[in-house]
Amino acid sequence: MSKVGINLAIFASGNGSNFAALVKAAKEKKIKVKFIVLVSDKPEAFVVKRAQKAKITVILVRREDFASRADFEAAIIQRLKSYRMDLIALAGFMRMLSPGFVKLYRKRIINIHPSLLPAFKGAHAIADALDAKASFTGVTVHFVDNQMDHGPLILQKEIKIKRTDTLNSLEKRVHALEHKLYPQAINKIF
């Protein structure tokens, strides 16, 4: 890990529990971070409120304000330039990044996914694992490439699915593991 710390951009579109876990890890010095910025495409998302409460810089870039995905991503890139980001952590940012964006930040974009990839890709991974009556699921942190929920693995940890699990109980256990695993993955990279 860098002795000085990294500049971390967290991209999120929803509740922001992984955002909160990363901010907490930084405050507790479990990850060495110089600066954190939140990038969100949803001004109404709870993650924005979390960032404001934590006095974290928020960059709002709404997709509907741009004619194309290229223009939307160009606006994000332009706003991130002045912060010199070392790492982008996707934390529930529900958009695929273009090949051009991924290439620009090659090996500096990571994602967390609530399954043991390559199993159960997509937005409903926890429910899909439960519906498939899988014995195990888990959490994967990986580098982002040009495919959805794909790329070189950084860390992966499994959770046994109990016969008594409901979607709610399994989500709670998976999210608790995500909150531990994401900071560990960042430490492994830096």
Query: What pLDDT shows up at residue 2?
Result: 52
Distances (CA, A) of 17 to 36, 77, 96, 98: 15, 24, 20, 25
Please tell me the number of Cα atoms within 13 Å of 129 on its side-chain side.
31
- Please state whether the predicted TM-score (pTM) of the whole model is above 0.85: yes
**Catalytic-role residue among 113, 124, 175, 179:** 113
Query: What pLDDT shows up at residue 190?
Result: 87
Please tell me the number of Cα atoms within 13 Å of 1 on its side-chain side.
17
The CATH T-level fold of domain 6-189 is Rossmann fold (3.40.50)
pLDDT in tens, 143-170: 999 999 999 999 999 999 999 999 999 9
Domain ranges of the chain: 6-189
In the structure encoding, which two tokens stand for residue 139, read together? 């959490």
Say whether 179 is catalytic. Answer: no
Query: What pLDDT shows up at residue 4?
Result: 79
Local mean pLDDT, 10-residue blocks, the chain (190 residues): 81 96 96 95 97 96 96 96 95 94 96 98 97 97 97 98 97 98 95
Query: What pLDDT shows up at residue 1?
Result: 46
